[in-house]
Amino acid sequence: MIRKIRPGRRAIRTPVLATAFLGVVTSLGVPAGAQAADIHHSLDYEWQPGFSKITIGDKTVVQNLATGTYTMKDKVFRDGTGREVSLRGWNASGETKIAEAGFTPFKTTADAAAAFQQMRNLSGTNVVRFLISWEGVNPQPGVIDHAYLDKVAAQIKEATSRGLYVLLDWHQDLYSRHLWKKDSWYTGNGAPKWAVPSGEEYCGVVCAHWAQNLQTNDLIRSAYRSFWRNTPIKELGGPVGFPPAGTPPEQTRVQDAFLWQMSRALEYLSPQLHTEDRDHFLGVDPFNEPADGGVVGSDWSKFDNDFLWPFYKRVRKAMDTTGFSTQQVFAEPLVFWNSQAGIFAPATGGHHLKQKPGPGFVFNSHFYDSGRMGPNLDGVDNNTYLPQLQDVRSEARYLEIPCFLSEYGMWLDGTGAKDTDRIIKATYQGMEQSDQFKAVYGQNRIDPYTPLISGTQWHWDIYHDKHHETMNGNPDKVITKGDAWNDENFSVVNKGNRPVSFTIDPNNAERVYPRAVQGDLMNFTYNDMAKDAWKTPLDWYGLAPQGTDDHYFQDKKFALVTWRSRHSSAPTEIYLPPGFAPSSTAVITEQTTQFGFGAGGQTTPKSTPDEVMFTQDSGADSSTARGNRLMVWDDPETGETDDSWHYAVVVADPSSDDRARLTRIQAQLNQSIVKDHKNPVELLGKLDH
């Protein structure tokens, strides 16, 4: 679904009417039995106005269980053709958290262009969480730094010109760098100096991790309390007569000041973002990892209802009045809402909000295994994170809004219980799978319906291990290693190598995912064959249609995408990373089987019935791109209903035996998926139940 754009140049649209692509379209295609000459498949929709614009759609699925029916209602992302869209990408980047680049993700626009092209070429990215800073926007009371916003706008355009969706994140951690002594163990980022309380920061005799400050450092906690209470700035203990005379009234209280600068920034950015930029502008993440600061004790319902969501409503109003009424507020929950750290940071849980937020919001969670970043010594296995990521879906359903995971990942070089690649792989599994109904379908079976959680992994830092950050302004404490912020070391790429290379198993970074499906996405599975710290392949899936004794492709990279109904004449699009070579990839759908697509794939559809097309990944640089995309046109068949199920299986380099029995596998999958609506994927190896 990414536009075909020459790298570094803006796409030029022709004024073609695209009425059929502006809403949900059903029953498009040709009747069964039509001749090939009657079929017209095209990629022209990628050039139509409004094709890329994301809207929010509804999806209702009824599970008919032995104990009765279970109805699930989900909100999903859809593109201008009506297809359900999945978003996969990266945070760009932790560079914004430090001062060396002036609180922008990249030091130069050229660096931004190179990084976004790398993301497209190396991992098939279609979304980026783009970090900016309150301090960067509004360094002094009443002053907006337009030069800073010009840099932000230029870097955003380098993303949108490559077909990347952008989520603009006003980032903060530990509230501000201006709360810390110059020789402190830790630092923060976010608020400017004039908007923070004075005092002495102290984490405790033992401060095992920077996040402990959220619970034991009263200066940091008081900064958060001042924000939620909208405290007058003059009461924060700053210089006499602060803020200065002439400061806009809207900036005399802390939260008002934050919203004032956000509104001014959006007003300034709005005319610089042209139609195509805005089509790729998802919305605003206004407050990274909200901490309560003890403003309500442990009354988490009061925090959600009286402080957090009223703030998000104010952000919604600010966006509505500055030209971004069709973009979403990506609202984060309290940072500890589903914490894995046990007694050190008990989970506060969800389902607290008494009045549903309504349209214009996305439930925007993070997920880190804080327990295994701490004392938890249990290994991560197949199934470990399914319950936690199911909680994300459950909370989004409760709020009746879509869900998104804007941060997840693991520090580098972990082993044992903290194995980096096991944790990353298991997180993606939880974003893609659930076993909510394993009592019905079996302990080693995943559900036939699971909403895929879109998200952005933390993070893509092209300056990794090459920083020069003067921590807390201390010239004797220059940080160069890792991410250069509180000993974090998460970047999935390392600029120390030429060309840029991955710091994690490439199989965990270069992933299959369904960018768009013709109907309602029912389930998605990818057997990525990532390796753990001992270089053991993590082979967690086999294709085992129920009712047979066969296990297919369990030692191969393979993906299954299943969808229901048809809302678009545009094809299902599946991104394929390296390892899925055109000449050695097999595809099975309910209508076709094929092995091999020629060395270079194809550039235009052949308009054959139920066509499967292997083609270059648009938006990527053809000379250096590592991935491709599979386009599947599922044409209507006689007797189809809105509840008809469809699928595509993609296999990298199947064995000669499996190539010889593609038709047999197809018949079994047709029975299991199309007729019985069951998931044919079986979980293998050690399961964490």
Q: At what angle do helices 386-399 and 420-432 cross, to 10 degrees?
A: 40
- pLDDT tens-digit profile of 136-158? 999 999 999 999 999 999 999 99
Same domain, yes or no: 100 and 128: yes
Predicted local confidence at residue 27, as pLDDT: 31
- What is the chain's alpha carbon radius of gyration, rounded to the nearest angstrom? 25
- Pick from 22-26, 501-505, 681-685: least confident: 22-26
The pLDDT value recorded for residue 343 is 73
Structural domain count, the chain: 2
Q: Is the peptide bond before 499 cis (omega within 30 degrees of 0)?
A: yes
582 in helix, strand or coil?
helix
What the block records as the tokens of 330 is 């990506």
| 255 and 378 housed in the same domain | yes
Res 8 pLDDT > 90: no
**How far apart, in whole angstroms, are the C-alpha atoms of residue 681 and residue 659?**
19
169-203 confidence digits (pLDDT tens): 999 999 999 999 999 999 999 999 999 999 999 99
Q: Residue 241, SS3?
A: coil
Between the CA of residue 225 and those of 175, 292, 383, what are the distances in Å? 11, 7, 38
Q: State the Cα angle at 152 between 147 and 155, rounded to 5°.
A: 125
Among 461, 481, 504, which residue terminates a domain? 504
Nearest to 266 by CA among 159, 132, 358, 175: 132
- For 17-46, give one letter per residue: b (16+ CB within 10 A) or e: ebebbbeebeebbbeeeeeeeebebebebb
Beta carbons within 8 Å of 159's beta carbon, 6+ residues apart: 92, 112, 116, 128, 130, 166, 280
| Domain of residue 540, residue span | 19-77+514-683
Residue 9 placed within a domain: no
Sign of CA dihedral 81, 82, 83, 86: positive
- Calculate the CA dihedral of residues 233, 235, 237, 241 and round it to 10 degrees: 70
- Do 362 and 443 reside in the same domain of the chain? yes
Q: Are residues 576 and 427 in the same domain?
A: no
Domain endpoint, select from 472, 504, 536: 504
Total number of residues shown for the chain: 689
Distances from the Cα of 613 to the Cα of 64, 592, 601, angstroms:
35, 12, 7
500 and 526 belong to one structural domain: no
pLDDT at position 126 is 96
For the cut 50, the answer to whether the pLDDT of residue 593 exceeds it is yes
Asked whether residue 61 falls in the same domain as residue 103, the answer is no
The whole-number average pLDDT for the span 36-51 is 83
Q: Are 101 and 54 within one domain? A: no
Residue with tokens 């996305």: 362
Asked if 533 and 497 sit in the same domain, the reply is no
pTM more than 0.85: yes
Measured over all CA atoms, what is the biggest interatomic distance in the chain, rounded to whole angstroms? 83
Q: What is the dihedral of CA 102, 103, 108, 112, to 10 degrees?
A: 180
Per the prediction, the chain carries an average pLDDT of 90
**Residue 525 and residue 410 share a domain:** no
Which token pair is 395? 């909370």
Over residues 503-521, the mean pLDDT reads 97
Residue 226 in contact with residue 233, Cβ under 8 Å?
Answer: no
Q: What angle do CA 329, 335, 341 make, to 5 degrees?
A: 150
